[in-house]
């Protein structure tokens, strides 16, 4: 190893600080060479090391009766009965998607699917959570949206995994940093559950899947560990290029190898490529690993050792197998036309040793690479002034109640997402019971007739107004969505999308949001089984809205009784259920009016909300109510409009205005549900929980009274407004 050693300047260019570089030199006993510095820089990056969030994450609840695999593995898993587990996780591909939206989003889907089958589960569903800038004003945001959605559809549709749900919001704060979060669910036998810890000194390390190229070098791990600035289009080459057809073969090959019991441990190659997968496997197993980069199948023959170790080429897996099984494993790979190569072995040295043929080109202690990355304390401080500009005025102050409802139903954050989700196949694999716009959560039937429900939620606007209470609302919203289809939460995954944590105001947002997730998940008995952190989402104009995205999976005993959101039958009774205390603070109506974000949101009674969720869940399961929809963006009036539009049935409703009709009609808060059913069933339901009968399903018009306020609007007019997003893409 006689080449010229990298300098401090090189280390700084790779994202290490001067103090971190000094620590690397101390751990190594000398300045690192090119391979070693590249590996340290990636494993010590924010994306891989979570060095600004790890201390917060350990405060989250991770244990529960259904949890069979928690944080630290490729994905979490919960028991769903009959010897089956549901694996699920959410991850981000934000910075790559801001640079190259199609491939950034597509490879984000590919990466989360590999996390699922890496633990032995077959992927059965995808959900996505997206954030973009103001698409009514910004051509760039429309471009990012169109291409990100196309990328998600391309990968999911091609590989044959349905996209069954999701959400998308548009806010000016995401103009420079769009968010692309992908969640996946998988189903598999519990006895096939696979962990990633390398084991067995002398066992073979084998790579299989696509060949390794220069695409993605320094990609996600570098892009996601610093702020994006002007001129970042030059980072386009660092975005990976995905091939869903290659991943389909890789998935089937992996699942067959696991079914045959030929694999000791398995890890997908994601951010930081071979470096992260091999080092994390060695760390978890408390072993060493030797790798010969010249045995790695390459797409480009002249690649340097460091390039091979940090490449983020897609559709690759790394496994540990016993020497006697090498031929059998390679035969299965050949069957699926998947390239494979034995590239190293497990050792007892606790070292990562990188060879190029017979030459040792890198030698690092595993503990130093993975476990000794410096972990930083945050310095949270609430900002003295509002961080975000007020939105433009989109609704005149003189607008009446009816005009406000029509405007809200057609606003970007509430209008129908049909132009987007119609690009996805929601029913491939034939498990989908409830698809987008049919219910508040996706529902997937299980072999025994029970069903899984899944929901993904976030509301950056409300979290920006109050990081703690806003995040409580996000978690409760996710659980409410499950309740509306009759599902009990089993576990939760989260993706924390925030700005630069080194800044006190962002550290405060992050700290408060994690505190809220811990409190809400504890109260709901829906522990965290895994997730992702995406920081440094900001540019010169400031941070994004703090956006904790929550994914939740639940179980319902009878798929045939899964709830729906649309009214069912004319003449049925409509009721308002739950401890709903609406407020216009940080609401969608306040946004349309151009009002700045408030300093705080009203308190939330978590236990009261949970009690309402349980009541609604049980009523759906028993068939007491025919439809259920939680009240979210736009308040009661918008919730009623959505129920009516989903069924093409009108309603006549009267609600108590409590002295403020605007707030009663359009205020937002957790814990409210609109339910519908026959009068006798609603009366029976009222004996179990507090509810207020507010009207009936009738006609082709939505009529809402609130004190002296009156809304009368035809469903055709509402439907036309609700399709406003379609006009932006014509």
List all residues 6 or more positions away from 191 whose beta carbon is below 8 Å from its beta carbon: 83
Instruction: Tell how strand 709-714 and strand 651-655 pair up.
Output: unpaired
CB 682 within 8 A of CB 691: yes
List all residues 6 or more positions away from 256 whose beta carbon is below 8 Å from its beta carbon: 332, 336
Residue 678: active-site member: no
Alpha carbons 646 and 367: distance in angstroms, whole number: 55
Q: Which residue has the tokens 């790394």?
A: 318
Chain centroid to CA 669: how far? 23
List all residues 6 or more positions away from 552 whose beta carbon is below 8 Å from its beta carbon: 454, 455, 456, 457, 475, 478, 479, 481, 482, 489, 491, 492, 493, 526
Bridge partners of 495, per DSSP, are 532, 549
Radius of gyration of the chain (CA): 26
Active-site choice (47, 95, 154, 629): 47
Active-site choice (52, 93, 629, 722): 93
Residue 93: active-site member: yes
* Number of neighbours of residue 141 by Cβ within 10 angstroms: 23
DSSP state of 370: I
Bridge partners of 302, per DSSP, are none
Alpha carbons 108 and 163: distance in angstroms, whole number: 13
Which two tokens mark 388? Answer: 């975000």
CB 204 within 8 A of CB 342: yes
Q: 703: buried, middle or exposed (CB in 10 Å: 19+, 13-18, 0-12)?
A: middle
Alpha carbons 629 and 563: distance in angstroms, whole number: 9
Cα dihedral 678, 683, 688, 694 sign: positive
282-306 in b/e form (b: 16+ CB < 10 A) is bbbbebbbbbbbebbebeeeebebb
DSSP state of 658: T
Range list of β-strands (E), 521-669: 528-534, 538-539, 542-543, 547-556, 573-577, 627-630, 651-655
Which two tokens mark 76? Answer: 């979490």
Residues with a catalytic annotation lie at 47, 93
């Amino acid at each position: 190893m006689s080449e010229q050693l990298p300098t401090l300047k090189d280390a700084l260019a790779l994202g290490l600080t001067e103090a971190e570089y000094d620590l690397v030199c101390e751990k190594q006993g000398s300045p690192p060479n090119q391979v070693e510095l590249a590996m340290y820089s990636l494993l010590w990056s924010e994306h891989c090391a979570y060095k600004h969030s790890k201390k917060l994450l350990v405060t989250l609840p991770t244990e529960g009766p259904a949890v069979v695999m928690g944080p630290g593995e490729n994905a979490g898993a919960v028991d769903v009965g009959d010897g089956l587990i549901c694996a699920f996780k959410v991850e981000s591909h934000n910075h790559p998607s801001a640079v190259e939206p199609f491939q950034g989003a597509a490879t984000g889907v590919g990466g989360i699917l590999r996390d699922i089958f890496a633990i032995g589960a077959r992927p059965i569903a995808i959900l996505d959570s997206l954030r973009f800038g103001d698409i009514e004003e910004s051509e760039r945001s429309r471009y990012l949206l169109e291409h990100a959605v196309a990328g998600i559809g391309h990968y999911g549709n091609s590989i044959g995994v349905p996209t069954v749900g999701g959400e998308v919001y548009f806010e000016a704060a995401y103009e420079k940093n769009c968010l692309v979060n992908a969640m996946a669910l998988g189903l598999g036998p519990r006895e096939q559950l696979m962990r990633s810890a390398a084991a067995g000194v002398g066992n073979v390390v084998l790579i299989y899947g696509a060949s390794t190229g220069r695409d993605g070098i320094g990609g996600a791990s570098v892009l996601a560990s610093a702020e994006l600035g002007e001129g970042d289009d030059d980072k386009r080459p660092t975005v990976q290029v995905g091939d869903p057809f290659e991943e389909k073969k890789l998935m089937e090959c992996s699942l067959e190898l696991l079914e045959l019991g030929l694999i000791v441990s398995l890890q997908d190659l994601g951010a930081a490529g071979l470096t992260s997968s091999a080092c994390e496997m060695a760390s978890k197993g408390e072993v060493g690993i030797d790798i010969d980069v010249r045995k790695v199948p390459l797409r480009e023959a002249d690649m340097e050792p460091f390039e091979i170790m940090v490449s983020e080429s897609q559709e690759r897996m790394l496994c540990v197998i016993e020497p006697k099984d090498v031929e059998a494993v390679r035969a299965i790979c050949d069957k699926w036309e998947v390239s494979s190569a034995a590239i190293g072995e497990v050792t007892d040295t606790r070292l990562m040793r990188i060879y190029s043929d017979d030459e040792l080109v890198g030698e690092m202690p595993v503990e130093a690479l993975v476990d000794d990355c410096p972990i930083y304390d945050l310095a949270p401080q609430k900002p003295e002034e509002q961080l975000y500009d007020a939105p433009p005025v989109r609704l005149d102050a003189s607008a009446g109640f009816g005009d406000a409802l029509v405007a809200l139903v057609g606003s970007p954050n509430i209008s129908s997402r049909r132009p987007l989700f119609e690009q996805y196949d929601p029913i491939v694999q034939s498990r989908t019971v409830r698809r987008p716009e049919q219910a508040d959560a996706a529902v997937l039937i299980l072999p025994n007739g029970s069903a899984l429900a899944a929901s993904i939620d976030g509301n950056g606007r409300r979290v920006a107004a109050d990081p703690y209470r806003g995040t409580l609302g996000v978690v409760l919203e996710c659980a409410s969505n499950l309740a509306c289809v009759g599902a009990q939460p089993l576990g939760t995954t989260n993706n924390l999308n925030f700005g630069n944590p080194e800044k006190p105001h962002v550290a405060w947002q992050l700290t408060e949001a994690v505190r809220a997730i811990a409190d809400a998940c504890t109260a709901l008995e829906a522990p965290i089984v895994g997730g992702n952190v995406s920081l440094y989402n900001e540019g010169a104009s400031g941070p994004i809205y703090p956006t904790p995205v929550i994914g939740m999976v639940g179980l319902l005993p009878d798929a045939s009784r899964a709830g729906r959101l649309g009214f069912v039958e004319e003449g049925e009774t409509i009721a308002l259920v739950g401890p709903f205390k609406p407020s216009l603070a940080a609401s969608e109506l306040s946004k349309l009016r151009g009002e700045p974000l408030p300093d705080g949101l009203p308190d939330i009674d978590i236990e009261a909300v949970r009690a309402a969720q349980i009541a609604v869940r049980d009523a759906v399961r028993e068939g007491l109510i025919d439809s259920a929809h939680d009240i979210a963006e736009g308040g009661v009036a918008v919730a009623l409009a959505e129920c009516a539009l989903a069924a093409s049935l009108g309603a006549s409703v009267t609600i108590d205005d409590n002295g403020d009709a605007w707030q009663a009609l359009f205020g937002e808060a957790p814990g409210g549900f609109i339910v519908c059913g026959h009068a006798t069933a609603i009366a029976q339901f009222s004996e179990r929980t507090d509810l207020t009968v507010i009207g009936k399903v009738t006609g082709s018009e939505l009529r809402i009274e609130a004190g002296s306020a009156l809304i009368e609007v035809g469903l055709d007019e509402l439907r036309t407004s609700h399709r406003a997003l379609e006009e932006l893409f014509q």
